[in-house]
Amino acid sequence: MLPLTRRNFAGAFVAAGALGPLEALARTVSSPAAEASAARPPVVDLVGDGVPLSPAEYATLLARLAQRGLAADEYSRGGAVEAMEAQFAKLLGTEAAVFMPTGTLANHLAVRALSGPRLRVAVQETSHLYNDSGDCAQTLSALNLVPLAPGEATFRWEDVDRLLSRTASGRVATAVGAISIESPVRRLRNQAFDFAEMERVSKEARARGIALHLDGARLFAAAAVSGRAPAEYAALFDTVYVSLWKCFNAAGGAVLAGRKAFLGEMHHARRMFGGALWNAWPYAAVASHYAEGYLDRLRRAFAVADDLIARLAADPALEAKKIPGGTSVFLLRPRRADPERMRKRLSQEGIVLPPPQDGAFWPRVNETLAGASAAELAAAIQRAAVDAGPATG
């Protein structure tokens, strides 16, 4: 078998119809920086949700895409941005989509518009909107985010119903205007919200006139695992947000998708909050490029990951397993080897793991696995566990 190298991996990407890291790009646009970057060893990077493009790699890719013809936008409208919006609307099965500079703004503007005068919004206690957005919805839009199901990825309709009953019994009318669901849930190592319960919440909420928003920053990972199309998830909601940088390798940006009547004037709110970038085409062009065929590549990556986990789990020196209800994150724990030495040893073979936490790794499945061999990866990890030696201290 061929050794696992950056050149072999990039070739597999090209054969699969996708653009790999800079190795493939440098063939068309050469520069000293590109050549130096192409010589670097990292091949399978299990740290993030996407392909880790360096500034040189990103610039080279952007130059290649520009040579094919890109139209600039103005204040994030028109040009390559409009084309990307149409592409993601089609992928999500929605009437329209609008570019947002960040996922924080996408989530905020969605629940702000959906809730209207009914200022209570039901959210997961573990959600990004509730924990990691600086209370933006509360501070800037006077919304009251009500957390449900502490510590859990999934809340049930009964949790919402109790909130509705409590709200109805108050002496001052403060109705629930919207429900926001995050899936997969970042704080729970990308566990997915149970789909059957998601369907139930959607049905019951719509029967009561309550709007629904999906924080689907990593929605495509959930779709790849479940076998469902992203549009099946989006159909249960009025709006859905998808990150452009987490999986689609843009330098930034997000998409908020939904009904045309709802999103048609959203650019005004975006600008009011300072989110109308003068030129967003460098983000849109790269995201649009990687979105083409992305789900197929990601499904191949998950097939490789499943094979890899099974091989590693059979080794008594290693613990490897999926997370119950999980999507793209799995557990890898060396039982005897020093984790940090093992990680450094693997980096020499072009396999990048995240820093260990309490003696374990939590790798993420992404499309850098799509062209890899599970057998070769497993063998490399097993060798590294032996070479690293026992943990000390």
* Res 390: pLDDT: 78
Q: At what angle do helices 339-347 and 374-388 cross, to 10 degrees?
A: 130
* Res 83: pLDDT: 98
- b/e for 299-334, b at 16 or more Cβ within 10 A? bbbbebbebbbebbbeeeebebebbebbbbbbbbbb
Q: Are residues 354 and 267 in the same domain?
A: no
* Res 33: pLDDT: 30
Q: Are residues 133 and 277 in the same domain?
A: yes
Q: Are residues 359 and 381 in the same domain?
A: yes
Q: Are residues 225 and 309 in the same domain?
A: no
Q: Are residues 31 and 90 in the same domain?
A: no
Domain-located, residue 264:
yes
Domain-located, residue 70:
no
Number of domains in the chain: 2
Domain boundary among 276, 291, 306: 291
Q: Are residues 133 and 252 in the same domain?
A: yes
Q: Are residues 191 and 241 in the same domain?
A: yes
Six-digit token pair at 233? 């998830």
How are strands ordered across the β-sheet holding 144-148?
A: 96-100, 254-258, 239-243, 211-215, 176-182, 120-124, 144-148
* Domain harbouring 128, CATH code: 3.40.640.10
* Res 30: pLDDT: 34
Please state whether the predicted TM-score (pTM) of the whole model is above 0.85. yes
Domain-located, residue 393:
no
Domain boundary among 242, 264, 291: 291
* Res 229: pLDDT: 98
Q: Are residues 258 and 277 in the same domain?
A: yes
Domain-located, residue 376:
yes
Distance between CA atoms of residues 351 and 333, nearest Å: 16
Q: At what angle do helices 219-226 and 294-313 cross, to 10 degrees?
A: 60
Residues of the domain holding 120: 79-291
* Res 10: pLDDT: 40
Q: Are residues 256 and 333 in the same domain?
A: no
Domain-located, residue 71:
no
Domain-located, residue 114:
yes
Domain-located, residue 362:
yes
Distance between CA atoms of residues 301 and 44, nearest Å: 11
Q: Are residues 264 and 148 in the same domain?
A: yes
Domain-located, residue 175:
yes
Q: Are residues 145 and 132 in the same domain?
A: yes
Six-digit token pair at 114? 């959906």
Contact 182, 129 (CB under 8 A): yes
* Res 15: pLDDT: 39
Distance between CA atoms of residues 177 and 152, nearest Å: 22
Q: Which residues touch 332 (CB under 8 Å, ≥6 apart)?
A: 312, 318, 319, 320, 353, 360, 361, 362, 363, 381
* Res 3: pLDDT: 42
Per-residue pLDDT of the chain (393 residues; tens, 9 = 90+): 334 444 444 444 433 444 443 334 333 333 323 323 333 345 899 999 999 999 999 999 999 999 999 999 999 999 999 999 999 999 999 999 999 999 999 999 999 999 999 999 999 999 999 999 999 999 999 999 999 999 999 999 999 999 999 998 888 888 999 999 999 999 999 999 999 999 999 999 999 999 999 999 999 999 999 999 999 999 999 999 999 999 999 999 999 999 999 999 999 999 999 999 999 999 999 999 999 999 999 999 999 999 999 999 999 999 999 999 999 999 999 999 999 999 999 999 999 999 999 999 999 999 999 999 999 999 999 999 999 877 665
Domain boundary among 291, 320, 342: 291
* Domain harbouring 22, CATH code: 3.90.1150.10
Distance between CA atoms of residues 327 and 185, nearest Å: 10
Q: Are residues 182 and 54 in the same domain?
A: no
What backbone phi and psi angles, to 5 degrees, belong to 366?
-145, 180
